[in-house]
């Protein structure tokens, strides 16, 4: 039986506890949070979980195998590092840290101690994104040309990070999973409610070696939109996460470029338009898959799909995006 | 009876002819086009229109009051200038020219000869955009914070301009109409099918003095999207031009920023969420309103809403966007 | 060159004229209407069409090959019969007549004179309905179980017929085309604004030998809905005529019934849920296909898909529905 | 502290337990179910609830105030009657019983013992239906003309009742709540997978004194639809329960009937089309409101909104509908 401690019982922590509790072979032994109201809520739901221990005590309990961290971003590093030093595997919410240097230290520490360090990039464990990954890698999808995502809603303002660190992380994790391309440079623009405040809306372009990605995130949209277009030379995908039954649609619409050598100024485009297919998707909860993957990685001592290294790559893109934001879109090399 | 000559009978020309023909007090006397098939199509639809005259002959006919230009962008200047020199009022498709210097020359010529020069920024004549303009200027809308538009579809590749000059023009004309704010700087990124080709997808940020606008345009999207969000401190608008009956939705959701002086790190946001209203819109065809406005401006010798000057301002933004595109998003002052 | 006379230039007549004019090899020689304003509108659009002749004169012109009737339903019989007697082929709007006895007379007259009598059941000429017909006849669709259609909007009240005769006709023509099943009995309910008025909303069930159809029509709905579900034992179809790009969706969801002989009370249902496919549809205008089909039937002396006989079958169902309506749903045998 | 026993822990029982547990002042003391797997699931979620007692023992515990019944419909009567006889208040899932005579007995028993008998018609406790009730009772809504509901999906086949008893109950409870009109007669048609099986799709018309209601329910639809139109002479409502943020839309579109005495055949209809408003709705969970209402009724000894009597009225409509179903739509008086 894997013994788990969950640190942080705010917005996401209850989902972690529920999923680890539901996983056969895992048990949540501790929940820690500074807020006594949250702790009493945890206790009411799960009377058998201990909620009256401090983090240090929990880390000193040798029966604890892994620590799950669902606290504000700026606290991730300290808690994760303490857990690794105490010999615990770590499952940390996204983004891994608010700083790439600290992410490097966590990766090194985990490697050195042969512990699993996994970031909860939940989307890569959804049936939808797994299906997109599969389609994009089929030969008739062709070459990926662009990834264009809109992820806006009337959301909770984070206080320690801007909207890119909160929402764009999801798209960056999806992109790095499906694109198989090297990010080279970013350009970002955005706006905040007042000078010096974190941006609540931002527009990020990531230039890859062979493609381009654009992400539009906004905490102050009157409507919720979760739509991603993936354009390939053979097919195109629309991923709408708010659709109940047809989240992923594959369009047999590609464009082929043919060039008549005699007419250099003429661009010949032939469209092919065919059927649309909305494939059946796995319907399990993504977080349940992530939890199962984490435990499997520990058991087999394998690197997780959403490893610390992937988490680091995302933080590096976010740091560059922040710099570009402050320079009104100036390109920043990665 | 106003006598009109329509130059160009390709995609948009037939709509111009139909609307001028339907306008009481106007008559299309000539249609010119280099393509004899298009001319015979015009003749079949309108047997009384003359289609066998060259542009020069048409301009020499003193009974012609105005010339409507619906030809490729790179030909706008030459045709419009000849028409103005011949003393004709000019109604030209967007964008006014492919070059701001040439636009300046047209504006000067029209002013000097006291002729009307109007650009067909059709959207500002729609019931939807007029209603948005009205709402945004009501006091309870508050301060405009952002304009965010997505205008993508599987479209016809233009051969002489990139997608910004084709699609973003619509948003730029709407923005300049409703924002009442001064554009200062732009940042743009995009991608083309091959190096040196015009961009088929582009992402443009326009920094205004008091707000920000973002435009996402794409000729290679598997689905058609026409959605604009306008965020204000008091209300927010969603304009979806593909909705049949509720194109404009006004959300009583604003955000007010309050700051507790004692807790400088804490951002207090209070949302107000209320009803949504989809107001009844005028249902007339926008082009019919534009045609009527053009003739009224001639009769009253008034400056059109979509004047040559507005057309010039848009071309200047597009030129800056092109420069930024070639510099991967580097900001370009206007 | 087929010479056509179009009788009635109200709501639908202009579409007939436009489509016959666009058909190579056909020419509209006359348009008749009692309303001089409509006639002047026709003349303005088509200066070469004669609009100043009475129906009798038109029927006496031996150069006229066919007569198209787009007048109110109660006038169909008289005009169609005069045209047939004068030796003209007839293309008549739906429903063929307001009375099955009169429809029989038209069919007999056309047969006796070897003339084509075609009813404009436009829907059976759409790409969508043709595709549905194709799918339903593939073996993996299984047995058709139900046809369930909602066709409501804020519509024009017809003055001489109720909503079934106006809107349900479309569904009856689609059903008879795709179901290949024999209608046995109907039950209908509905409501009108005042006693004795024609029903503005009605709910019709048609019992077939092997399936059932249900049609919900309403002239007083705040929203427009055009949605048809076709349930088969192997697949299911959703046809939404208001969708711009994916009107027909085929769901690989069937239900198979297995019965355990030992447990007679237990119903074992196993669902199969798979992919959804939205096939590419022909995009031509349905009325253009209908016009082309009409002329081809005349040329080859073949029976049209939407023959007078099909029109009669629909009128018989409508008559039975009216009787059931007045008896609050009592079943009426066909 | 109210002590509750929940009987049945299948599909809906867990929701009842969760909501009673979350209600301050209530506690679930027992969960009963014949299935040991379900009991162990209950125990795992709520270690403090007793799951190893039989119904009789539970009813003999004087500390139990109320019994909640979430078992198959055919068992409702027996359990509810035992609970009432034991002096417990009863909260029973819809429909109250599968037979109106038994419902009468429950109502009499509860009245005689002065106990609360409430049926879980959850929808009347939703923010959406409460808002509709409010709007319909405002004077500018005018006279209600029709209620038209579609409630279809790929659902679980009930084994002891047909689809009307499962899905149409929801609409009947909403109708009786908002219509304030007397049901007089019903007509129903439907279809089953094989003769003698319960109907999986059914179409029900209920004739009221002043209006009409139509309900379309189906367990074998490829798509889920939950849409209700409510037509009034002044306004119209669309209630789409699957919309995330705008479930209720009010259209300022009415129809007024004026009659010119000179033209008896002419029906003059003038439409008024205005704005659409989607009002803000209460967002609490409906079942939480129902639970709170049940406890308040016990405390104040008041009749619940969804009383046994309302449950009986619904069962009488369902019984008449079943009779009409077997007679292919023949009207059955209530």
> With bands split at pLDDT 50, 70 and 90, how would you rate the model's confidence at A47?
confident
Which other chains touch chain D, taking contact as 3+ CB pairs less than 8 Å apart?
A: A, B, C
Cα C193–chain centre separation: 26
pLDDT of residue A265: 42
pLDDT of residue A157: 72
My answer on whether C227 and C320 are in the same domain is: yes
Residues of C in contact with B223 (CB under 8 A): 245
Residues of B in contact with A157 (CB under 8 A): 267, 269
> With bands split at pLDDT 50, 70 and 90, how would you rate the model's confidence at C193?
confident
User: Dihedral of the CA atoms D294, D296, D302, D305 (nearest 10)?
Assistant: -50
Q: CB distance D48–A48 less than 8 Å? A: no
pLDDT of residue B262: 40
Q: Are A13 and A6 in contact (CB under 8 A)?
A: yes
pLDDT tops 60 at residue D258: no
> Which of B250, B22, B25 has the alpha carbon at shortest distance from B128?
B250
CB within 8 A of A324, min separation 6: which ones? A186, A187, A188, A189, A330, A331, A332, B329
Q: Is residue B182 part of a domain?
A: yes
Q: Are A108 and A77 in contact (CB under 8 A)?
A: no
| Strand-pair partners of A270 | A256
Q: At what angle do helices D308-326 and D169-179 cross, to 10 degrees?
A: 120
Residue range D132-150: mean pLDDT, rounded: 94
Q: H-helix or E-strand containing A220?
A: strand A220-232
Q: CB distance C223–B242 less than 8 Å? A: no
Distance separating alpha carbons of residues D92 and D71, to the nearest angstrom: 9
Q: Are C69 and C92 in contact (CB under 8 A)?
A: yes
pLDDT tops 80 at residue D247: yes
Tens of pLDDT, residue by residue, chain B (334 residues): 899 999 999 989 999 999 999 998 899 999 999 999 999 999 988 888 999 999 999 999 999 999 999 999 999 999 999 999 999 999 999 999 999 999 999 999 999 999 999 999 999 999 999 999 999 999 899 999 999 999 998 877 777 789 999 999 999 999 999 988 999 999 999 999 888 889 999 999 999 999 999 999 999 998 999 999 999 988 999 999 998 889 999 998 766 655 544 443 444 455 667 899 999 998 889 999 999 999 999 999 999 999 999 999 999 999 999 999 999 999 999 9
Measured CA to CA in angstroms, residue B299 lies from A227, B66, B89 at distances of: 48, 12, 11
Q: Is residue B277 part of a domain?
A: yes
Which other chains touch chain C, taking contact as 3+ CB pairs less than 8 Å apart?
A: A, B, D
Q: Is residue C70 part of a domain?
A: yes
Residues of A in contact with C280 (CB under 8 A): 252, 273-275
How many Cβ pairs closer than 8 A exist between chain A and D?
A: 11
My answer on whether D101 and D198 are in the same domain is: no
My answer on whether D132 and D276 are in the same domain is: yes
pLDDT tops 70 at residue D323: yes
Q: Is residue A302 part of a domain?
A: no
Distance separating alpha carbons of residues B143 and B256, to the nearest angstrom: 11
> With bands split at pLDDT 50, 70 and 90, how would you rate the model's confidence at D266?
very low
Distance separating alpha carbons of residues A274 and A187, to the nearest angstrom: 35
- Sheet with A117-120, strands from edge to edge, namely A26-32, A2-7, A66-69, A89-93, A117-120
Q: CB distance A150–B150 less than 8 Å? A: yes
Looking at CA atoms only, how far is residue C26 from chain D in angstroms?
Answer: 37
> With bands split at pLDDT 50, 70 and 90, how would you rate the model's confidence at C269?
low
Residue D164 is part of a domain; what is its CATH number?
3.30.360.10
Pairing of strands C248-251, C276-278: antiparallel
Our count of domains for chain C comes to 2
Residues of A in contact with D242 (CB under 8 A): 244
Residues of B in contact with A269 (CB under 8 A): 157
Q: Is residue A308 part of a domain?
A: no
Domain boundary among D89, D115, D141: D115
Q: Are A72 and A7 in contact (CB under 8 A)?
A: no
Residues of C in contact with B48 (CB under 8 A): 47
My answer on whether B67 and B160 are in the same domain is: no
Choose among C47, C224, C242: nearest Cβ to B47.
C47
Number of neighbours of residue B274 by Cβ within 10 angstroms: 12
Distance separating alpha carbons of residues C222 and C154, to the nearest angstrom: 6
Choose among A245, A275, A278: nearest Cβ to C279.
A275
Peptide bond into A230 cis (omega under 30): no
Pairing of strands D236-240, C201-208: unpaired
Residue range D228-238: mean pLDDT, rounded: 94
Residues of A in contact with D17 (CB under 8 A): none
Q: Are D254 and D275 in contact (CB under 8 A)?
A: no
Domain that holds residue B78: 2-120
Distance separating alpha carbons of residues C266 and C287, to the nearest angstrom: 50
Greatest alpha-carbon span in chain D: 79
pLDDT of residue C157: 72
User: DSSP string of A276-307?
Assistant: EEE-----S-HHHHHHHHHHHHHHHT---TTB
Alpha helices in chain A (DSSP H): 13-22, 36-45, 55-60, 76-85, 100-113, 127-136, 163, 169-179, 286-300, 308-326
Nearest C-alpha in D relative to B252: D280
Q: Are B243 and C223 in contact (CB under 8 A)?
A: no
Domain boundary among D65, D90, D115: D115
Choose among D48, D244, D245: nearest Cβ to A47.
D48
My answer on whether D78 and D110 are in the same domain is: yes
Measured CA to CA in angstroms, residue D84 lies from D8, D16, D108 at distances of: 17, 19, 10
Residues of B in contact with C224 (CB under 8 A): 244-245
Higher per-residue pLDDT: D21 or A263: D21
- Strand ranges (DSSP E) for C129-172? 144-154
Q: Give the global pTM.
A: 0.92
My answer on whether A108 and A137 are in the same domain is: no
Q: What angle do CA A195, A201, A206 make, to 5 degrees?
A: 110
Task: Please report the ipTM that was assigned to this predicted complex.
Answer: 0.92
Higher per-residue pLDDT: D160 or A255: D160
Alpha helices in D62-199 (DSSP H): 76-85, 100-113, 127-136, 163, 169-179
My answer on whether C128 and C253 are in the same domain is: yes
pLDDT of residue A241: 94
Choose among B273, B274, B280: nearest Cβ to D275.
B280
What one-character DSSP code corresponds to residue B29?
Answer: E
> Which of D69, D19, D65 has the alpha carbon at shortest distance from D46?
D19
Residues of B in contact with A214 (CB under 8 A): 189, 203, 216
CB within 8 A of D114, min separation 6: which ones? D301
pLDDT tops 90 at residue C312: yes
My answer on whether A93 and A199 are in the same domain is: no
Looking at CA atoms only, how far is residue B255 from chain C in angstroms?
Answer: 32
pLDDT tops 80 at residue A14: yes
Residue D37 is part of a domain; what is its CATH number?
3.40.50.720
pLDDT of residue B254: 67
Q: Are B177 and B124 in contact (CB under 8 A)?
A: yes
Tokens of B45: 């639809």
Q: CB distance D146–C191 less than 8 Å? A: yes
Peptide bond into D95 cis (omega under 30): yes
Measured CA to CA in angstroms, residue D71 lies from B60, D6, D11, D32, D100 at distances of: 90, 10, 9, 10, 18
What one-character DSSP code corresponds to residue D50?
Answer: B
My answer on whether D225 and D248 are in the same domain is: yes
Phi, psi of D19 (to 5 degrees): -75, -35
User: DSSP string of B236-248?
Assistant: EEEEETT-SS--E
Number of neighbours of residue D299 by Cβ within 10 angstroms: 11
Averaged pLDDT score across all residues of chain C: 92
Place of tokens 């309403």: C218
Distance separating alpha carbons of residues C284 and C127, to the nearest angstrom: 7
Q: Is residue B303 part of a domain?
A: no
pLDDT of residue B232: 92
Q: Are A7 and A71 in contact (CB under 8 A)?
A: yes
Q: CB distance A216–B148 less than 8 Å? A: yes
pLDDT tops 90 at residue D113: yes
* Interval A21-42: pLDDT, tens: 999 889 999 999 999 999 999 9
Q: CB distance A275–C273 less than 8 Å? A: no
CB within 8 A of C42, min separation 6: which ones? C9, C13, C14, C17, C31, C33, C49, C51
* Interval D179-189: pLDDT, tens: 889 999 999 99
Measured CA to CA in angstroms, residue A140 lies from A128, A210, A280, B71, B153 at distances of: 19, 17, 19, 38, 21
Q: Is residue A137 part of a domain?
A: yes
My answer on whether A179 and A197 are in the same domain is: yes
pLDDT tops 80 at residue A104: yes
Number of neighbours of residue B264 by Cβ within 10 angstroms: 8
* Interval C143-175: pLDDT, tens: 999 999 999 998 777 777 899 999 999 999 999
Tokens of D26: 């209530």
pLDDT of residue C239: 97
Chain B residues with CB-CB distance to C under 8 A?
47-48, 223-224, 242, 244-245
SS3 C228: strand
CB within 8 A of B205, min separation 6: which ones? A189, A203, A329, B186, B187, B188, B212, B213, B214, B215
Nearest C-alpha in A relative to D49: A47
Phi, psi of D147 (to 5 degrees): -130, 120
Alpha helices in D262-307 (DSSP H): 286-300
My answer on whether C49 and C137 are in the same domain is: no
My answer on whether D149 and D22 are in the same domain is: no
What one-character DSSP code corresponds to residue D326?
Answer: H
Domain boundary among A115, A139, A163: A115
Measured CA to CA in angstroms, residue A49 lies from A43, A89, A269, A281, C206 at distances of: 7, 20, 63, 34, 61
* Interval C20-76: pLDDT, tens: 999 988 999 999 999 999 999 999 888 889 999 999 999 999 999 999 999 999 999
Q: Is residue A300 part of a domain?
A: no
Which other chains touch chain B, taking contact as 3+ CB pairs less than 8 Å apart?
A: A, C, D
pLDDT of residue A254: 66
* Interval A180-226: pLDDT, tens: 899 999 999 999 988 888 999 999 999 999 999 999 999 999 899 99
* Interval D25-57: pLDDT, tens: 899 999 999 999 999 999 988 888 999 999 999
């Amino acid at each position: 039986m894997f013994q788990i401690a969950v640190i942080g019982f705010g917005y996401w922590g209850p989902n972690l506890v529920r999923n680890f509790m539901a996983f056969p072979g895992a048990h949540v032994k501790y929940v820690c949070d500074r807020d006594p109201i949250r702790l009493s809520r945890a206790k009411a739901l799960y009377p058998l979980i201990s909620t009256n221990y401090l983090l240090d005590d929990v880390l000193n309990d040798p029966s604890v195998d892994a620590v799950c961290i669902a606290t504000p971003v700026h606290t991730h590093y300290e808690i994760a590092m303490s857990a690794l030093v105490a010999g615990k595997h770590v499952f940390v919410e996204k983004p891994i840290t608010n700083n790439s240097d600290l992410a490097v230290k966590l990766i090194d520490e985990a490697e050195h101690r042969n512990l699993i360090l996994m970031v909860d990039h939940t989307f890569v464990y959804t049936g939808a994104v797994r299906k997109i990954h599969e389609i994009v890698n089929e030969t008739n999808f062709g070459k990926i040309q662009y990834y264009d995502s809109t992820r806006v809603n009337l959301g909770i303002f984070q206080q320690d990070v801007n909207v890119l660190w909160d929402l764009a992380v999801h798209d960056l994790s999806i992109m790095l999973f499906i694109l198989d391309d090297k990010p080279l440079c970013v350009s970002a623009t955005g706006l905040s409610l007042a000078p010096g405040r974190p941006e609540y809306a931002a527009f990020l372009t990531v230039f890859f070696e062979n493609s381009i990605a654009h992400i539009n995130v906004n905490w102050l949209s009157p409507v919720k939109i979760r739509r991603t277009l993936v354009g390939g030379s053979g097919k195109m995908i629309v991923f709408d996460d708010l659709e109940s039954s047809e989240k992923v649609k594959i369009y047999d619409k590609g464009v082929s470029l043919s060039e008549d050598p005699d007419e250099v100024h003429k661009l010949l485009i032939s469209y092919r338009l065919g059927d649309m297919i909305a494939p059946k998707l796995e319907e399990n909860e993504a977080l349940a898959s992530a939890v199962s993957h984490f435990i499997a990685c520990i058991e087999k001592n394998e690197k997780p799909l959403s490893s610390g290294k992937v988490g680091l790559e995302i933080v590096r893109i976010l740091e560059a995006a922040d710099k570009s934001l402050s320079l009104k879109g100036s390109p920043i090399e990665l």
